[in-house]
Amino acid sequence: MQDERQPRPDEERHEFREEAESLWRITLAPVAWVAHFVTSYGIVALVCAKAPGLLGMTRGGLGLATLLALAVIAWLGWRAWRQWDYRTTGDYTNARGEAEDRHQFLGHAAVLLALISAIGVVYGALPVLLLETCR
């Protein structure tokens, strides 16, 4: 019979891996923002230099890329929101340094990063949508 309080085999390693992944996850929203920015900037520069005729199509494509980036960020933000678990715990700051607190804190940070990344993507998309020419 196994004692319930005994750790399951590899439980700590499992948990550690999950937290390490969560640490990576908080960077994903800013990464989506960076990818969107670099793609917009690079492709518009290339098209305007080499094939200005394709600008209309490019703007359409970048509009779709914007929606995609926002969808990815929204999904990451939603997952981070659940990880933060503010609704259930009511813990806004997670000041204590326990494993659960660290877990929720990473969610909190990821929510804020997702928010600012979404704003960044929208601001970055505005020139593509509003400037209709290469001028």
Partner 1 sequence: MTTRLKQTDGQRKLRDVEIVMKTSMAGKSRRPISAEPGRPRARLAPLVALALLAGCDGRQSVLAPAGADARVLDSLFWVMLTGAVILWLLVNGLFFYVMRINRGAMSRRFADGLIIGGGVIFPTVVLGALLAWGLSIMPDQRAPGEGLTLRVTGEQWWWRVEYWPEGADTPIVAANEIRLPAGQRSEILLNAGRVIHSFWIPALGGKMDMFPGRETRMSLKPERAGNWRGQCAEFCGASHALMAFEVVAMPPDDFDSWLQAQAAPATPPGDAAAQRGARIFAREGCGACHAVRGTEARGAVGPDLTHVGSRLSLGAGTLGTTLEDFETWIAHTGAIKPEVEMPGYDHLTTADLADLAQYLKGLE
> Cβ–Cβ contacts within 10 Å for residue 107, how many?
21
CB of 129 to partner 1, least distance (A): 9
Listed in sequence order, the DSSP H helices in the chain are: 11-25, 28-50, 55-84, 86-89, 99-130
Does 132 contact partner 1 by CB under 8 A? yes
Q: Contact at 8 Å (CB) between 14 and 98?
A: no
> Candidates 1-9, 54-62, 72-80, 125-133 — which segment interacts with partner 1 by CB under 8 A?
125-133
CB of 16 to partner 1, least distance (A): 34
**Alpha-carbon span 111 to 82, nearest angstrom:** 9
> Candidates 12-20, 70-78, 93-101, 122-130 — which segment interacts with partner 1 by CB under 8 A?
122-130
> Candidates 31-39, 76-84, 102-110, 116-124 — which segment interacts with partner 1 by CB under 8 A?
116-124
Does 95 contact partner 1 by CB under 8 A? no
Terminus-to-terminus CA distance in the chain, angstroms? 76
